[in-house]
């Protein structure tokens, strides 16, 4: 069986990295919002929840992209027995 990465695994790696970048952007937005308002502001809480979401999605997608998922094609591979 081949262990090449499919287009979906490559795409999940890119989207996982983008999720980490968005999490960093949410942390920066949270820092700027806390400077002007308190942590109890609904927008600050939304930034905090978004940060948790993007970090979780990033970990899952990068983990999926690094796995060795076998190919489940129905093609029969010829084997020489000679």
Asked whether residue 80 is domain-assigned, the answer is no
Confidence at residue 34, expressed as pLDDT on a 0 to 100 scale: 87
The chain-wide mean pLDDT, for the chain, equals 86
Asked whether residue 76 is domain-assigned, the answer is no
Report the alpha-carbon distance of residue 29 to residue 45 in Å, rounded.
11
Confidence at residue 38, expressed as pLDDT on a 0 to 100 scale: 81
Structural domain containing residue 25: 7-66
Helices (H) and strands (E) counted in the chain, each on its own, are 2, 0
Entry pTM: 0.76
Asked whether residue 71 is domain-assigned, the answer is no
User: Alpha-carbon dihedral of residues 40, 41, 45, 47, nearest 10 degrees?
Assistant: -140
Q: How many domains, the chain?
A: 1
Asked whether residue 60 is domain-assigned, the answer is yes
Give per-residue pLDDT as tens, 23-49: 999 999 999 888 888 888 898 899 999
Asked whether residue 1 is domain-assigned, the answer is no
């Amino acid at each position: 069986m081949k262990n090449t990465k499919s287009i979906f695994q490559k795409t999940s790696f890119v989207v996982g990295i983008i999720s980490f970048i968005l999490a960093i952007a949410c942390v920066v937005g949270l820092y700027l919002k806390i400077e002007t308002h308190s942590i109890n502001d609904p927008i600050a809480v939304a930034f905090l929840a978004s940060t948790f979401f993007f970090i979780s999605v990033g970990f899952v997608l990068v983990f999926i992209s690094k796995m060795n998922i076998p190919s489940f094609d129905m093609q029969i591979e010829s084997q020489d027995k000679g």
